[in-house]
Structures are given as C-alpha cells and as structure tokens.
Amino acid sequence: MSVKKWTGLMLVLIAVAGFVFAEAQQEEKSQDAAVRERMQQGTSAARERGMAGREQMYRERMAKQAEAHRAEMQELIDIKKIAEEENAAKTAEAIQALIDKKNAEYQKGVEQVERARREQAERLQKRMEKAHESKEKAADTDSPDKSEETSGEGGGE
C-alpha cells in the first residue's frame, strides 16, 4: 500500500473519529441545555414527578450516553477490521489506541457522574436528617410549654 493511501486512510479515520466525537458532545450539550431549561421552569417535569422522575430521567440520559458510546466504538471497530483486512497493522494499532482512549474517557465520565450522584444523595440525606432533628427539637420544646400552660390554667381557677 502506498504512502498516499496510508495517509488518506489515516485522514479518513481521524475525520470519522472527530465527527463521531463532535456529534456525541453536541448531543450531550443539547441534553444538558434541555435539562437546565426544565430545571429553570417553575413547573418542570422533574419537580412534578419528584425523585422517581429524576431517577428515571437520569437512567434515560445514561442509557442514551451508553448507546452513543457503543455506536461510536462499533464504528471504530469496523474501521479497525477494514485496516486489518488490508494488513494495515499500524493503522489498526492506532485505531485500537483510540478505542482504548475513548473507553477510558467514557468510564471516567460515568464514574464522575456516579460519584456526584452519591455525594448529592449523601447531602440530601444529611439535610433530611437535620430537618427531622429540627422538627423533633421543636416538638420537644413545644410539648413542655403546652403542659405548663395547661397546668397553669388549671391551677389558677
């Protein structure tokens, strides 16, 4: 295979990978914008549906991202197979390196999202516990006052 063909093949591979990556980023940005818009609205679907709705939205978003990642990886794998069929070992190695890099980036992103969700859940749990404790304190302080008031009223007559 001539140098021009190798160069052309590499340029095509880079262009395809760039296009796929750009499409995935654009879709993620549009999803983020849509989520931001819903959150800004007072009657957003997430608020109406509550926590179960948010969980469903999260699962749907993660499924879409996973599907986009799988499609991107399949394209690269198909290109790698073509390179292997043409005995383009260096090209196949470069594509495999790109596949590995994309997989690592995707996994890192998933781990970051999961960590952020866990941290958010912990903060929410602490807030709920604090609110519950505050209500209990308020109930405890209200109870003695009421009993004193009733005993004071009864003793004055």
Mean pLDDT of the chain: 79
- The ranges assigned to domains in the chain are 3-137
Predicted local confidence at residue 115, as pLDDT: 92
Q: What mean pLDDT comes out for the span 54-65?
A: 86
8-12, 79-83, 121-125, 129-133: range with highest mean pLDDT: 79-83
pLDDT at 48 over 70: no
6 burial class (0-12, 13-18, 19+ CB within 10 angstroms)? middle
Claim: this prediction has a pTM higher than 0.85:
no
pLDDT digits (tens, 9 = 90+) for 86-132: 999 999 999 999 999 999 999 999 999 889 888 988 888 888 888 88
Top-confidence residue, 21 or 100: 100
